[in-house]
Amino acid sequence: MAEQADQPSVLSVSGLDVTFRTLRGEVKAVSDVSFTLKRGEVLALVGESGSGKSVSTRAVMGIVRGNASISAKRMQLAGHDLLTLDEDAKRKLRGRVISLVFQDALSALNPVLSIGDQLGELYRTHLGISKKEARERSIELLRAVRIASADRRIDDFPHQFSGGMRQRILIALAIALKPEVLIADEPTTALDVTVQAQILDLLDELREELGMAMLLITHDLGVVARTAERVAVMYAGRIVETGAVDDIFRAPAHPYTAALMASAPRIETVEKLEPIRGAPPSLIALPPGCAFHPRCARRGELCDKVRPELVAGPNGRSHACHYPLVEIAHG
Amino acid sequence: MAEPILAARGLSKTFRAGGALFGKPFHAVKDVSLAVAPGETLSVVGESGCGKSTLARMLVGLETPDEGEILFRGAPIRRDKALRRQVQMVFQDPYLSLNPRRTVLDIIAEPLDVHGLAKGAARRQRVEELLDSVGLDPAAATRFPHEFSGGQRQRIGIARALAAEPSVLVCDEPVSALDVSVQAQVVNLLIDLQKRLEIAIIFIAHDLAVVRAISSRVMVMYLGRAVEMGAADQVLVTPSHPYTVALRGSALEPDPARARLARGTAARGEPPNPVDPPPGCRFNPRCPRATDICRGEEPLLTPRPGTTAVACYHPVGREQLVGA
């Protein structure tokens, strides 16, 4: 996206490591992850379960569970240095500057509070406005996420809404304070097909209206294709390939990206699906060298010995592979 | 079509929402008929609440239909255990559908025990054969479900379903809980098994792309009714019922150009509460083509020569789909 190339970055992370201590050993959930998000753009973090995509963004939000150790070389959010900021200051950024839409709308909402109370509480805490004004703002917010008869539904409880409507309410909570960065963690995974498309459309419209940047976490290449401009593919806690969505879908460089695409079924054509053999590795005992090598069809001499570094090429593309499908560093 | 091995005629099932006594009755499945031939896969597609899982449960005998009958090679199944054996089920969640306290051997051998098919060494041998046929190491027999990944557990579920040597496999969303790369493994396994064993498969799903990979024919359900049925390519690539068109437009494909075209075209609204279906065609409140007739008499699934059967007064023609 040409116009976004000049935009300043609103979120910039480099060298992020997240390690969990467990009874069975240290789990390196995220290793040396770096990415930047420019104002107004959509970056997708895509990967299978256990790839570290959710943990990375939770580390940025500062909401990883207690037994984790997090370190990074750099973590900048809209002019704030997240590495030096104290807990109190970070809390103030959440909601106002960076915000998160969770996956499961039923468990993320409080079942015993009305929607109006939950939205109103947010306004009263952060903006210190009156109950009446908070209520009015909440109704406006419900309208913004296209909930019909918002002025009547404001007093309803979460269970009185359908799954799609609850997801809209979660989005309303996340955008209430007009954040600059919205993290959407599998925002449509639990929804029906037609509703899924509606929610993606809504996120897209809101992003444009509010000028937010969006970090989209998903396992679904179809969601990436529809919504994102850039994509970072994660495997076993590391980014293995990044670039513009069009470039990567046209010609993936990393064999894992290519294999993921070949395993995804399509409607227009019936080709035999090509699954990736085996299963994602355990993060406690990662294979030596490239973590993908035991499943890789292009495995060569180096792959089980030397871990490939992420190599940057032109057009913001990079990959971590000794034997890539496309040579991007020179071309 | 070849002689059907399993057929259902006019199946209906009513549940009561909010209690068996005072709840309001609603049709989970209403007047649905289908047939599958050996070696064929019929997929049943629809969103939550469309009745596809209830339909699957009736076909394997986990629910009793209120109306209609299920025929195996033309004979009503009812309570006949020998006929029941011929129709087996693969469940959606490989984490919940395997008993965590039993070994893989005992899990897979359960149908053998129930139907008295094998004992002792023969039982063990049969389980090892089954494990091998679903691509697992026969040594897995002595292990427990938690030692396996999601994809491997689904293979165990398939091996269990195959143990009774069924002619029909009913698979209820068998890959929706799995990672993409693993999904393809399980889909390919089902396709291979079908070729090898000449079984018929009824594949329940909400993901059109997965359905396309495995199906010969597709039935689309909406709020308990079949709304479109026909050859997989016709239903999925050139759909006729406005609901199928909406599903198709909402499907997320790993193709950026195509996917961006679909932005902003999502179907309106959500499936209504099945307790209070709208009068007439159940899709009419969400349908861009609805007219007065659609709010009157409910349209019935009507066969059309050379194309899909559709329950709609205003089916979408081929010409209108170009560029959509």
Q: Name the pLDDT band for B266 (thresholds 50, 70, 90).
A: confident
Of A196, A225, A260, the CB nearest to B255: A225
* Chain B CB within 8 Å of residue A190 CB: no
Q: Does residue B158 carry a pLDDT above 60?
A: yes
- The domain locations on chain A are 2-88+181-197+205-319, 106-178
Q: Which residue of B has its CA nearest to A146?
A: B269
Q: In this structure, how many other beta carbons lie within 10 angstroms of the beta carbon of residue B110?
A: 15
* Chain A CB within 8 Å of residue B152 CB: yes
> Which residues on chain A are in Cβ contact (under 8 Å) with B207?
193, 265
Please answer whether residues A221 and A34 qualify as being in contact, where contact means their C-beta atoms are separated by less than 8 angstroms. Answer: no
* Chain A CB within 8 Å of residue B17 CB: no
Q: How far is CA A222 from CA A33, A65, B91, B159, in A?
A: 23, 30, 25, 31
> What pLDDT, on a 0 to 100 scale, did the predictor assign at position B33?
96
* Chain B CB within 8 Å of residue A221 CB: yes
- Which structure tokens are listed for B288? 């861009």
Interchain contact, A273 vs B207, CB within 8 Å: no
Q: Which residue has the higher pLDDT, A89 or B17?
A: A89
Highest mean pLDDT pick, A52-66, B156-170, B305-319 = B156-170
Cα pseudo-dihedral A220, A290, A242, A228, rounded to 10? 10
Interchain contact, B246 vs A264, CB within 8 Å: no
Interchain contact, B207 vs A193, CB within 8 Å: yes
Task: Report helix, strand or coil for A87.
Answer: helix
- Which structure tokens are listed for B247? 């599903």
> What pLDDT, on a 0 to 100 scale, did the predictor assign at position A11?
96
Q: Which residue of B has its CA nearest to A200?
A: B263
> What pLDDT, on a 0 to 100 scale, did the predictor assign at position A2?
43
> What pLDDT, on a 0 to 100 scale, did the predictor assign at position B324?
39
> What pLDDT, on a 0 to 100 scale, did the predictor assign at position A5?
53
Task: Report helix, strand or coil for A60.
Answer: helix
- Calculate how close chain A gets to B155, using CA atoms only, in Å: 13
Low-confidence residues of chain A, pLDDT below 70?
A: 1-6, 105, 328-331
- Calculate how close chain A gets to B254, using CA atoms only, in Å: 4
Interchain contact, B187 vs A224, CB within 8 Å: no
Of B48, B185, B247, the CB nearest to A275: B185
Q: Does residue B294 carry a pLDDT above 90?
A: yes
- Calculate how close chain B gets to A162, using CA atoms only, in Å: 8
- Percentage of chain B beyond pLDDT 90 is 70
Please answer whether residues A15 and A310 qualify as being in contact, where contact means their C-beta atoms are separated by less than 8 angstroms. Answer: no
Interchain contact, A222 vs B267, CB within 8 Å: no
Interchain contact, A196 vs B252, CB within 8 Å: yes
- Calculate how close chain B gets to A199, using CA atoms only, in Å: 9
> Which residues on chain B are in Cβ contact (under 8 Å) with A276?
181-182, 184-185
Of A197, A268, A275, the CB nearest to B250: A197
Closest by Cα among A113, A121, A147, A120 to A136 = A120
What backbone torsions phi and psi does residue B237 show, to the nearest 5 degrees?
A: -95, -40
Q: Which CATH architecture has domain A2-88+181-197+205-319?
A: 3-Layer(aba) Sandwich (3.40)
Of A196, A249, A277, the CB nearest to B255: A249
Of A263, A266, A268, the CB nearest to B180: A263
DSSP conformation class of A17: E
* Chain A CB within 8 Å of residue B262 CB: yes
Cα pseudo-dihedral A282, A283, A285, A287, rounded to 10? 80
**Region B192-217 average pLDDT:** 93
Interchain contact, A267 vs B262, CB within 8 Å: no
* Chain B CB within 8 Å of residue A148 CB: no
Interchain contact, B252 vs A246, CB within 8 Å: no
Interchain contact, A267 vs B251, CB within 8 Å: yes
* Chain A CB within 8 Å of residue B246 CB: yes
Q: Which CATH architecture has domain B6-86+166-321?
A: 3-Layer(aba) Sandwich (3.40)
* Helices within chain A (DSSP H only): 2-5, 53-61, 87-93, 105-108, 115-127, 131-144, 150-153, 163-175, 193-210, 221-227, 245-250, 255-263
Q: Does residue B322 carry a pLDDT above 50?
A: no
Of B187, B236, B256, the CB nearest to A267: B236
- As a whole number of angstroms, the distance between CA A139 and CA A154 comes to 7
Q: How far is CA A117 from CA A111, A112, A257, A263, in A?
A: 11, 10, 44, 45
**Region B139-149 average pLDDT:** 93
* Chain B CB within 8 Å of residue A79 CB: no
Closest by Cα among A270, A163, A191 to B252 = A191
Task: Report helix, strand or coil for A77.
Answer: strand
The per-residue pLDDT of chain B, averaged, comes to: 90
Interface of B with A in 155-184 (CB under 8 A): 179-184
Q: How far is CA B23 from CA A157, B20, B258, B275, in A?
A: 22, 6, 45, 10
> What pLDDT, on a 0 to 100 scale, did the predictor assign at position B323?
41
- Calculate how close chain B gets to A129, using CA atoms only, in Å: 34
Q: Looking at chain A, how many residues does it have?
A: 331
Closest by Cα among A38, A87, A24, A42 to A61 = A87
* Chain B CB within 8 Å of residue A244 CB: no
> Which residues on chain B are in Cβ contact (under 8 Å) with A270?
212-213, 233
> What pLDDT, on a 0 to 100 scale, did the predictor assign at position A104?
72
- Calculate how close chain B gets to A327, using CA atoms only, in Å: 22
- Most A-contacting residue of B41, B255, B258 (CB-CB within 10 A), to test interface: B255
Q: Which residue of A has its CA nearest to B50?
A: A192
- Most A-contacting residue of B136, B146, B181, B235 (CB-CB within 10 A), to test interface: B181
Q: What is the DSSP string of B159-171?
A: HHHHHT--SEEEE
User: Which tens digits make up the pLDDT trace of A228-251?
Assistant: 999 999 999 999 999 999 999 999
**Region B80-95 average pLDDT:** 88
Interchain contact, A225 vs B254, CB within 8 Å: yes
Q: Which residue of A has its CA nearest to B151?
A: A279
**Close Cβ partners of B69 (under 8 Å, ≥ 6 residues apart):** B8, B9, B10, B11, B76
Interchain contact, B260 vs A226, CB within 8 Å: yes
Of B206, B236, B255, the CB nearest to A193: B206
